[in-house]
Amino acid sequence: MTTDMRFGLPGGRGDLETGGPTSATELGRTAETLGFDSLWFTDGHLTSVGSRTLRARPAPIPLAAAVASATSRIRLGFTALHVTQYDPIRLAADLATLDRLSGGRVILGVGWPAADYSRVTRCPGGDADLSEALDTVLRYWRGCSVVADGARYRVGPTPVQYPHPPVEVAAHTDESVVWAASRGYGLLIAATGTTRSMAAQAALFVSRGGSTANLRVERFCLVARTDAEAEQIARPVVKRLTGRLASLGGDEHGYRMAGPPELDPVRFLCETAIVGGPETVARRLAALRDEMGIEQVNIRPSFSGTVPLRVQQNSVRLFASEVVPIIRGLPTRQVAYW
């Protein structure tokens, strides 16, 4: 999959997993063989009782370590670690160890936990906000010492990547987009936004000093042999997904990412999800590159768990074998991004 665009897959949300003890490592090996650039793991260990607000996921760092041991090239990202919920010394050491085990393949995606999660969990660091918690981890990696009872200590190990693994922010407000840009971090845009809202976030990020090279977007994506076949499969899937998101108030990763207009099933199918045969999907992805400068896309083939595993697997294989070669052959239009 050699192209100017790079594509990632979810690795820990139940997407594409068989449920067995080796499913994550099998997914990692398959994704690497197919040429995907990265595999992404999501934080959150609570399931709401009596509602659908939260759904527990496997612990992301151990899951990523298992995949690291079974692969050699694919990058290991997080969408997104709730940094404020971790002891900073343990988090710095765990991520640095993962970076060393993987040979420098970690991407540190960070974000804000859902409000329900924050109320239940007990943060070892007290009331630290994301900026403070992340700064603490980065200081440890730069060798800054910790002082306790007059003695100084350094936190180890440190990552392979210098000065630290790339940081990407799963921003949920304009203020968080500006903060990511001002700090030189990457921006990860959630899959629920329309093309228009995605473009607005990307434009704000670039206008405040962010680089298009540091933009990454998630897109619900379904590929079939023809447009008609893909739409036939996707229509009931999108109806279920938009209904579920509407019942949660448009939540994605615990935040309101979409309102009633964006969750209209017809509009969602046409403007938010990328659905079609290989040619259609390739041209829509190439448009993100040519019109917004976006070269990093994480595809979401399960549509948040609403697509059967067999259909997901077929979609991903078609993506790798047919969509990517088409994108590679499409000329890049040279445009000024914002």
Q: Domain boundaries in the chain?
A: 1-169, 195-338
Interatomic CA distance for residues 38 and 9, integer angstroms: 6
Using CB atoms within 10 Å of the CB of residue 304, give its burial: 0 to 12 exposed, 13 to 18 middle, 19+ buried. buried
Residue 255 binned pLDDT confidence (cut-offs 50, 70, 90): very low
CATH topology of domain 1-169: TIM Barrel (3.20.20)
Lowest model confidence (mean pLDDT) among 240-244, 270-274, 299-303: 240-244
Amino acid sitting at position 273: A
Closest CA to 210 of 133, 332, 292: 292
Prior bond to 236 cis, omega within 30? no
**Taking the model in full, what pTM does it have?**
0.89
The CA dihedral of 95, 99, 101, 105, to the nearest 10 degrees, is: 130
Interatomic CA distance for residues 245 and 199, integer angstroms: 21
Residue whose token pair is 């693994």: 165
Q: What is the pLDDT of residues 88-143, one digit of tens each?
A: 999 999 999 999 999 999 999 999 865 555 555 555 544 568 999 999 999 999 99
- Mean per-residue pLDDT over the chain, rounded: 86
Top CATH class of 195-338 equals: alpha beta
> Could you say which DSSP state residue 331 is in?
P
SS (H, E, C) 77-140: EECCECHHHCCHHHHHHHHHHHHHHCCCCEEEEECCCCHHHHHHCCCCCCCCCHHHHHHHHHHH
Residue 307 structure tokens = 């697509």
- C-alpha atoms less than 13 angstroms from C-alpha of 49 in its C-beta half-sphere: 1
At residue 55, the pLDDT reads 63
3-state secondary structure of 335: coil
Nearest-5° Cα angle at 95, 112 to 64: 85
Q: What is the pLDDT of residues 9-45, one digit of tens each?
A: 998 544 444 455 568 888 899 999 999 999 999 887 5
Helix (H) or strand (E) holding 162: none
Contact partners, residue 328, CB within 8 Å, separation at least 6: 2, 3
Q: What is the pLDDT of residues 219-240, one digit of tens each?
A: 999 999 999 999 999 999 999 9
